[in-house]
Amino acid sequence: MSSLEVAVVGYGLAGAVFHAPLIAAEPRMRVAAVVTGSAERAEQARRAHDGVRVFPDADALFEDIRGIDLVVVATPNRTHAPLAARALDAGIPVVVDKPFAVTVGEAEEVVAHAERAGVALSVFQNRRWDGDFRTVRELVESGRLGAVRRFESRFERWRPVPKGGWREVGSAADGAGLLFDLGSHLVDQALTLFGPVRSVYGEVDRRRPGIQTDDDVFLALTHENGVRSHLWMSAVAPRLGPRFRVLGADAGYVTYGLDPQEDALRAGRDPREDDWGTVESARWGLLGAEPDLSPHPTLAGDYPAFYAEMAAAILDGAPVPVDPRDAVAALRVLAAARRSAESGTTQLV
């Protein structure tokens, strides 16, 4: 087998804008099947991917799974674990969009299932390949900042009027709300940089009328190595803070704005473009210690790397791009954050 036939289950924002274009850009993969109950999205998939088979639901796909080498689960959060389990039952490798599952127990069961089956399983933590995060990681690992004492990370937006989708009107059992949505990214990045978390303090609030779940969240993590990570995620921030502020013993780094890859994918740009993921110099972050600060080049973002590494895992026996056990660890932190918010106390992870 030299190339992989991929089925994308769910063709909304995640499936159509993120997964399918990145799969199509990987030379060793092809979007071979799409699952969607929408006639409009089915036609969109047929226009975008030559020869794609379109199924109205997951049952239809699994009844006719012949020739599929990888299943990508890009459906609403509460369905992630059950659909991943069905693919594993069929002996097919799986990529699950974040959050991996809505409970720690569900996530652990899926990981154990994959290990018993000997089938590759990974989680689409694409924000590990944001250019600004790659830059922070390089600065931390190279020692340019000295010993890091505090890591601040934000995904903030100003959306005072709710859109009304399931992420706003669903419940915690559905995996709705910013804690699961954006928190899955921010916690994963903090764990990737600084390792396991000992304790969590969380503020999980619902600010806008007409929504049923959290839209304004703050988490304070204390890592086992002593680093403190402060994470903000909000839909009600009329003034946006820095994307990252990292404070070390020798220097700090601050950068504003979001990685450009999401906007590029939404605009229909091809991830194979030569300048993919690059950030113009006017948007570089500042590195140094007061008063000696200077712009520091932002590394290019590289979402295509995820599916290149997934292809290598299946075809060449390389490691998967994201170990699913990392996602289980992140879910433990998110669960502790919710307990903290409900009790008003710091919680052990």
Is 312 within the bounds of a domain? no
What CATH number did the domain enclosing 148 receive?
Answer: 3.30.360.10
Residues 146 and 221 in one domain: yes
CA 8: distance to chain centroid? 16
Domain assignment present for 324: no
The pLDDT value given to residue 100? 96
Q: Residue 32 has what pLDDT?
A: 98
pLDDT tens digits along 211-226: 889 999 999 999 999 9
Residue 265 lies in a domain: yes
Q: And the tokens for 200?
A: 């969590």
What pLDDT does residue 136 have?
Answer: 98
Q: Which residue has the tokens 């806008």?
A: 208
Same domain, 222 and 183: yes
β-pair partners for 276: none
Structural domain includes residue 167: yes
User: How do residues 93-128 score in pLDDT, each as one tens digit?
Assistant: 999 999 999 999 999 999 999 999 999 999 999 999
Q: Do 188 and 69 share a structural domain?
A: no
The whole-number pLDDT of residue 135 equals 98
pLDDT of residue 283: 97
Cα 206 from Cα 234, distance rounded (Å): 10
Domain of residue 111, residue span: 4-124
Handedness of CA 317, 322, 324, 325 (dihedral sign): positive
Q: What gap in Å lies between CA 118 and CA 341, rounded to an integer?
A: 38
- Tokens coding 129: 């390949």
pLDDT of res. 77: 94
Last residue of a domain, one of 105, 124, 143: 124
Q: Are residues 157 and 54 in the same domain?
A: no
Q: What b/e sequence results for 50-71 when a residue is b if at least 16 CB atoms lie within 10 Å of its CB, and e otherwise? A: eebbbbeebeebbeebeebbbb
Tell me what pLDDT residue 2 has. 81
Tokens of 126: 């694409």
Three-class secondary structure of residue 102 per DSSP: coil
Among 81, 98, 124, give the residue marking a domain's end. Answer: 124
Q: Which amino acid is at 205?
A: D
pLDDT tens per residue across span 19-30: 999 999 999 999
Q: Is 33 in the same domain as 46? A: yes
Amino acid letter, residue 257: G
Q: Please count the structural domains in the chain.
A: 2
Q: Which helix (H) or strand (E) holds 337?
A: helix 324-343
Quote the pLDDT of residue 163.
84
Give the pLDDT score at 41.
Answer: 97
- Is the pTM above the cut of 0.75? yes
Please tell me whether residues 196 and 54 are part of one structural domain.
no
**What are the residue ranges in the chain where pLDDT is below 50?**
none
pLDDT of the residue at 87: 98
Instruction: Based on the fold, state whether residues 153 and 48 are members of the same structural domain.
Output: no
What CA–CA distances, in Å, run from 282 to 194, 242, 254, 296, 338?
29, 15, 14, 10, 38
Within-domain flag for 78: yes
Mean pLDDT, the chain, as a whole number? 96
Same domain, 194 and 269: yes
What pLDDT, on a 0 to 100 scale, did the predictor assign at position 175?
A: 82
> Where is the domain boundary, 124, 150, 166?
124
Residues 233 and 341 both lie in one domain: yes
Residues 193 and 92 reside in one and the same domain: no
Residues 120, 182 share a domain? no
